[in-house]
Amino acid sequence: MSTPNPTAPSALTASILEEPQRLPRGPHRLSRDEVAASQRARLQRALTRLLAEGGWSEVKIGPMCSRAGVSRGTFYAHFKSREECLLSAYRDWAGTLVSAITVEVPPQAGWTAFVATTLDAYLGALAADPAATRAFVVEMDAAGPEARAARRDSLNLFSTVFAARHAEIRSVDPSLAPIPNRVYLAIAFAVRELIRDELEHREPGELSEIRDDLVFFATAIAEGAAAVPA
């Protein structure tokens, strides 16, 4: 199963965060690739909004095409199913999150500074697109095993980022002890689940209210590891 691309967002990735423009009516100078990219982006965005508004059971191809301003034939030219469209949209969105949290923090700044900066970037990305946040953090798991596997792939990638940065910081701070790889993954899962739970009664733009607790949690695990017998 493919994982999110940690490079800068592509045009399709950016489309999850922005409302795609519809194609001009009548003759235009857009290339076939540009037309296809616009159609895919609009379908992804339409699915994202339907998922955020009503959950997976409300994501139907007809309403999706209507919102995107395309025909069913155009939908099937790009995606085999609504599940394939969902996974495409999710992986593009997850790519924006990876880009957001890949921030430059000097190892000398320490683990707490890295965690705080990374969480600020992550929460900011979630607040930037409330519909995508609700769709992919709260509602997507109901779409079945492939959707949940894609979510696990993303969290594994996030944990890899944490592990790499922790190793860099440990190289200049010998007081930090090594951490098992599953603990990095546990941090990623725990942060995601805490945020998902908060989104049951908060808007994404209000998640900054739990930022300090998340920083404390991730810092306590890393800095407390030295006290755990080897």
pLDDT of 215 strictly over 70 = yes
pLDDT, mean over the chain: 87
Rounded mean pLDDT of 42-70? Answer: 96
pLDDT score recorded for residue 128: 93
Residue 19 CB-density burial (10 A; 0-12 exposed, 13-18 middle, 19+ buried): exposed
Q: Which of 136, 122, 123 is nearest to 47 (CA)?
A: 136
Q: How far apart are CA 161 and CA 84, in angstroms?
A: 27
pLDDT of 3 strictly over 80 = no
Q: Which of 6, 41, 16, 15 is nearest to 140 (CA)?
A: 16
Q: Where are the domains of the chain?
A: 1-230
What is the CATH architecture of 1-230?
Answer: Orthogonal Bundle (1.10)
Rounded mean pLDDT of 77-94? Answer: 96
pLDDT score recorded for residue 2: 34
pLDDT score recorded for residue 19: 57
Q: Return all residues near 228 (Cβ < 8 A) that are at least 6 apart.
A: 177
Amino acid at 222: A
Asked whether the beta carbons of 88 and 44 are under 8 A apart, the reply is yes
